Structure 1
Amino acid sequence: MTDIAMIEAAAARLQGHARRTPLLSSPFLDEIAGRRVLVKAECLQHTGSFKFRGAWSALSALEPAARARGVIAFSSGNHAQGVAYAAKLHGVPSVIIMPEDAPKLKIDNTRALGAEVILYDRVTGDRDAIGARLAEERGLTLIRPFDEPLVIAGQGSVGLEIAEQAAEAGITQADVLTCCGGGGLTAGIALALESRAPGLRVRPAEPAGFDDTARSLAAGRILRNEALSGSICDAIVTPEPGRITFPILARLCGPGLAVTDDEALRAIALAFLRLKIVLEPGGAVALAAALFRPEAIAGDAVICTASGGNVDPALFAHALSRLAD
């Protein structure tokens, strides 16, 4: 299981390969939220999301013979690109299984990074079964998007950076809102902060109607989403929390938060206007929660992850139109 030693080892392997992303702020966002808002800009990471960290962590830890045979992953786009790029940098083949309704930009980018892309129907298909079959047939190593200790360890390097940057900013007590799908990023950050900054409490943020993690935390057991599609926050729409990640979240996280698609779009627009960064909907829900759920957050400061920026131009333009409202 993932622990702080694994996270520190992953961070060491990531040294010189992943970017140390900034913790951004704006007085205009502080005014909206009614408190200090700090944004961990993982949209500036390689491939446009934090997923590169977990992908590199897993790939770099493989035995050389296994790594040379190649890797396989399933993803709606960000894990896909992270694995594809990490594999490209290691000079090994990658196969990525992606839903047919994934944003075209993410499919195109994954192919451009050298991966073989296999599309499936998100509602009727079984990506786990497809991945297991291809892994066995081709001798590939499956790198799961969140329920994989080495991936969680890589994502935990975000938490190590947050602990250092929050201390530099004079923040020792705050909620840390994370964009949450299967829980790999949330679990990794929570484990890192437990060790390095125990005064920072992680809280998952999700799209309304797809808040399986928040409901699972409240119930004390894993609950599924009724629907598997229907939100613009495609990057973090998962059936249920991970079997490995959920026990970590249940032990370390505070209550979850949910925001609407419209609020995610407004957060995208405000992030561009005030922070000069580009976010995708799934990467904006934590900022949306910080801005539009102030009554659910305690303290004088809040930290949130801006976890991805791979947004189609048309949707980004639609989000920017919110500035005229």
Structure 2
Amino acid sequence: MADIKELGYSQEELKKMLYDMMLIRSFEERVEKLFQQGKIHGTMHLCIGQEATAVGACVPLTKEDKITSNHRGHGHSIAKGTEVNGMMAELLAKETGYCKGKGGSMHIADFNVGNLGANGIVAAGLPLGVGAAMTSKMKDLGYVVVCFFGDGATNEGAFHEAVNLASVWKLPVIFFCENNLYGMSGSIKEMVNIENIAERAKSYGIPGCTINGNDVLEVAETTRKAVERAKNGEGPTLIEAQTYRWKGHSKSDARKYRTREEEKLWRKQKDPIALFKENLIQSDVITEELFTEYAEQVEKKIDQAVEFAESSDEPNEDTLMKDIYL
């Protein structure tokens, strides 16, 4: 783990990182239960185990900076400041949801905090992020864009087109790959013939780095440097954060492509929340009692979000064709 004392974060900033990671996990665990109870329909892609990538990448961002997300995007939304009440309402298809109940799990957006939205199409968020970055540069708006995507997206044409254009035009965008080692049904090692996905940055003449995606401080510091580079007009960076999703690709995934022993190893030895908690305790930033207090706070917050969603109205049929593209 990164050395806390050398990085210069305040105790409040460090505590917020931990709290946000705990909030993401609590949200994901609750929506999984709601799905099992039949209260959430369709499917969902949980990011339990990947909390450090979302939180760390958003630490150096301002409210004006933007993100684009993917199908596994609940954590990105929370880390960027999207409120869980509206997210929960969206998942329960209520009119108080961020997309008025029409988007669901894979399409949460909140422009007020720079969350340009998730996307159910693999790699589709990258060209959208590049477009937002081009707007920032052409209008001299000063914001940067972080595009979140998974390892599978790096084999899509949209990935290569987006990175190439961003490189040519030196756009203020950070391509953030959450490499959780598996695509929908197989290992990334079966899908690429390179050691690290970040090596692809060389083809486009931009910096690329591979980091420990379960170390929130390493993620935050790496992203901070990329943000500074982008805001200085030096163009994009490709960050590959290696992490691990504890659950299946989606709720219908039996995970036959990996062993239960491997899963136990990541849960017991590489849990990003447990690792950061221990680091903070050893650095005298928090106590075990404060951690327990945070756990109670996030559970209460999620309870309130569920209550808000369940008490919200269903969308009116008259609004069925509004706010959509035809």
Verify same fold: TM over 0.5.
no
TM-score (norm 2): 0.33
Higher Rg = 2
- Bigger RCO of structures 1 and 2 (CA < 8 A, at least 6 apart): 2
TM-score (norm 1): 0.33
